[in-house]
Amino acid sequence: MFDKLKTLDDLYEMQLKDLYSAEKQLVKALPQMAAAAKDGRLRAGFEHHLRETENQVARLEKIGKAMELDLGGHTCKAMQGLIAEGQETMSERATDEVMDAALIAASQRIEHYEISGYGTAAHFAERLGHSDAATLLRQTLAEEQLTDTKLNELAKNYINQKAM
């Protein structure tokens, strides 16, 4: 699909397309995860991150538009797999408490994947002199990191305890 990866610019474009596909898939998956969450704070967290994720899609579209680059037409297979695993978890019969702990485990994998992708893309943008894009990518990176921290706190403060 990417037959012309000759420069860091090409690789940067590929990374943006991959992130775009990942976020679009998440916009569809997060409502399912919110619906599966039994704990009110966890559900609210997924709903909040859905709104953030919609805005993250818009940021990528803004970056693509400024570059006159169509970000569509590529599928992030890693996100497909992460979401498929999450759906597999949701289809299991589990107690409410264990289901919530499992949802956190699945969604932290997703956040870490995004943190990795945005860290790389923001660094590429900076190196290539795309400072506006770098700012947008760093904003999203900060949201992904905060989401991961909040999930960690929910798990450690009481959800994992309830699941024991």
- Residues forming contacts to Fe ion in the complex (CB under 5 A) are 53, 56, 114, 144
The CB-of-107 to Fe ion minimum distance in angstroms stands at 8
Do 2 and 10 meet the contact criterion of CB atoms below 8 Å apart? yes
Helix 77-90 / helix 8-36 crossing angle, nearest 10 deg:
10
Minimal distance, residue 36 CB to Fe ion, in Å? 17
Looking at the Cβ atoms of 141 and 159, the one nearer to Fe ion is: 141
Nearer to Fe ion, 27 or 94 (CB): 27
**What one-letter code names the amino acid at 13?**
E
Q: Is the dihedral of CA 70, 147, 76, 24 positive or negative?
A: negative
- Shortest Cβ 1–Fe ion spacing (Å): 22
Shortest gap between Cβ of 123 and Fe ion (angstroms)?
17
Rounded to the nearest 10 degrees, the angle between the axes of helix 96-127 and helix 40-67 is 20
If the CB atoms of residues 72 and 95 are measured against Fe ion, the closer one turns out to be 72
Cβ nearer to Fe ion, comparing 14 with 94: 14
**Which phi and psi (to 5°) does residue 46 adopt?**
-65, -40
